[in-house]
Amino acid sequence: MKAIYLIITLAIVTSPLRAQLVDEMADESKLYAESKQVNQFFRRFNGEEDEKGNRYYPNDKLYRSSKLRKRYLGILFDESNKGIGETAKTEFVKQLLDKNETSILNFHGSNWFSEVHAVFTQNGKTQPVTLFMELEKDHLGYKWVIQKVHADMFNQYFVRDTTKIGQFLHPLSHELDFMNLRKAFANSDSIAQFTVKQFRPDHLSLFLYEIKKGALKFKSVTEVKFHFFQIDGWYFELSDFNRPGYNTGWLISNLVKLKNDSEKDLLRRYLYNEK
């Protein structure tokens, strides 16, 4: 029995798979260089763990130190994205280090959200849907909730043709007890002409309605990214990169300097697909 056990053990140790695992784990520097989870990106961005992933706490000497943060911030960008200029990157990092105590990402704070690209089926047809998720406080903890939804399949319901003339209700319609609403509802294709100019389509309500009646069914998630507005005067995007080398894992994939709140609101609307 012992001989059989020994043979099995040797087979496991000397198998090609085992050898491959040993080779991969031998290169620890590569493993440590990767932000494997979003929570780990937070800790490295804030300077709250060492290179092996061991947590630092407020009483630790290196906790959120500028020296530690500077070392991490140099490897938290997607180096393949030439759209992130070196000037902007340098200015961003300098602000983080100059305002070390106030330029910290807060996992439970506001001004960051997730963009989840998912695939659904509607009446048997595959449909892409983008879910915008945010953390919401719930009793003693937090939970992810759907904040907004965008789906191209809903756009057809909100087409407003401003070139047409005569698609309106007369200003004296109230004297007719609005009986001429019959004209507005006669053609479903033109109903959007009778809404206020400031009307913005609510894809989330339509999404919930389609789910509720069973016409829309979840299939899978294809991509996840995060958008951050927590650092004063800046926006950055966080994406996951699964590729060979050291510059992999969760990395800053876009960086934009914001001059004022107006630019911030404009960028938010762009991210939400709000035209």
Average pLDDT over residues 79-97: 95
Among candidates 94, 130, 95, 101, which has minimal Cα distance to 114? 130
- pLDDT score recorded for residue 66: 95
- Residue of higher predicted confidence among 157 and 270: 270
Confidence of residue 161 (pLDDT cuts 50, 70, 90): low
17 pLDDT band, cuts 50/70/90, is very low
Q: Are 78 and 239 in contact (CB under 8 A)?
A: yes
Q: How confident is the model over 157-164, as a mean pLDDT?
A: 65
* Six-digit token string for 68: 């530690």
Rg of the chain over all Cα atoms, to the nearest angstrom: 26
Q: In terms of pLDDT, which residue wins out, 157 or 165?
A: 157
Q: pLDDT at residue 8 above 60?
A: no
Say whether 216 sits in a helix, a strand or coil. strand
What is the spatial distance between Cα 36 and Cα 76, in angstroms, rounded to a whole number?
Answer: 12
Q: Among 154, 215, 159, 212, which Cα is nearest to 187's?
A: 159
Q: Which residue has the higher pLDDT, 211 or 176?
A: 211
Regarding predicted confidence, which is higher, 119 or 139? 119
Return d(Cα 163, Cα 179) in angstroms, integer.
25
The token pair that represents 206 in the structure block: 């339509």
Question: Is residue 112 helix, strand or coil?
Answer: strand
What mean pLDDT do residues 180-208 have?
83
- Residues 182 and 34: their CA atoms lie apart, in Å, by 62
Average pLDDT, the chain: 86
Predicted local confidence at residue 194, as pLDDT: 81
pLDDT given at position 27: 54
| pLDDT category of residue 10 using cuts at 50, 70 and 90 | very low
Residue position matching structure tokens 């006669």: 186
Band of residue 63 on the pLDDT scale cut at 50, 70, 90:
very high
Q: Is 149 exposed, middle or buried (0-12, 13-18, 19+ CB in 10 A)?
A: buried
11 pLDDT exceeds 70? no
DSSP class of residue 227? E
Residue 185 has a pLDDT of: 83
Distance from C-alpha of 93 to C-alpha of 108, rounded to nearest angstrom: 22
Q: Which helix (H) or strand (E) holds 144?
A: strand 141-150
pLDDT the model gives residue 203:
95
pLDDT at 205 over 70: yes
